[in-house]
Amino acid sequence: DVKVTQSSRYLVKRTGEKVFLECVQDMDHENMFWYRQDPGLGLRLIYFSYDVKMKEKGDIPEGYSVSREKKERFSLILESASTNQTSMYLCASSFQLRLAGGPETQYFGPGTRLLVL
Amino acid sequence: TQLLEQSPQFLSIQEGENLTVYCNSSSVFSSLQWYRQEPGEGPVLLVTVVTGGEVKKLKRLTFQFGDARKDSSLHITAAQPGDTGLYLCAGASGTYKYIFGTGTRLKVLA
């Protein structure tokens, strides 16, 4: 079974703190994703990585950065946490880039609920 | 900007009832996925539809992709409390990106 784990289920931080969210997958997937989930907005893509040290911005990258030094690990960094970054953060992974018209399955971790005070 | 609107946003029904959830967009998608998310967990893939007009069945769940590949529906027959959760549709956009819908929160009462 594919397993995607996230370092924390719940996190409380202060405004201005630097926050690290870690994600690890055990299926040798090339692709890894970070999303945030807010009520009524669905999931919004923050960053995507298709290989080690490779990253691409998603829809809402402002205020975030990412790091992928090893294939199995993808980290999301909040450089200076703000209250509007309070949210549920979901990590996902999948095999290879999608072939034309051919979808791949994204496997999600359990999420990290972050509260910024 | 591509958007996926889901309706209804909330649904509370009695066990045994039928229901349909809709996922609509003005954009064309090469494929569309449906996920279910239970409290405290990440979304889990239920189905992927690729061809316009395609219908897929998963036990009591029936998924349909619109002919123009802009919309989709999920129909549940004889809902059970175990069907409770957040249902999300996601349309494939570009080479790697998915656009997620706004979600439908379903509660099935015993």
Nearest chain B Cα distance for residue A9, angstroms: 9
> Virtual CA dihedral for A10, A14, A16, A22, nearest 10 degrees?
-20
pLDDT at A111: 95
For A100, the closest chain B residue by CA position comes to B95
Residues of chain A with pLDDT under 70: 1-2, 96-103
Give me the pLDDT at residue A105, please: 81
pLDDT of res. A100:
54
The per-residue pLDDT for B1 is: 59
Low-confidence residues in chain B, pLDDT < 70:
1-2, 95
Element (DSSP H or E) covering residue B34: strand B32-37
Best of B48, B98, B99, B102 to disrupt the A interface by mutation (most A CBs within 10 Å)? B98
Please report the pLDDT score of residue B96 as a whole number. 72
Q: Is B94:B9 a contact under the CB 8 Å cutoff?
A: no
A108:B44 CB<8 A: yes
pLDDT at position B71: 94
Contact status, residue A24 vs residue A4, Cβ threshold 8 Å: yes
**Under 8 Å between Cβ of A23 and A91:** yes
Which strands, in side-by-side order, build the sheet including A64-70?
A4-6, A19-25, A73-78, A64-70
What's the pLDDT at B90?
93
Q: Among A95, A52, A59, which residue's Cα sits nearest to residue A75? A: A52
CB B90 within 8 A of CB B32: yes
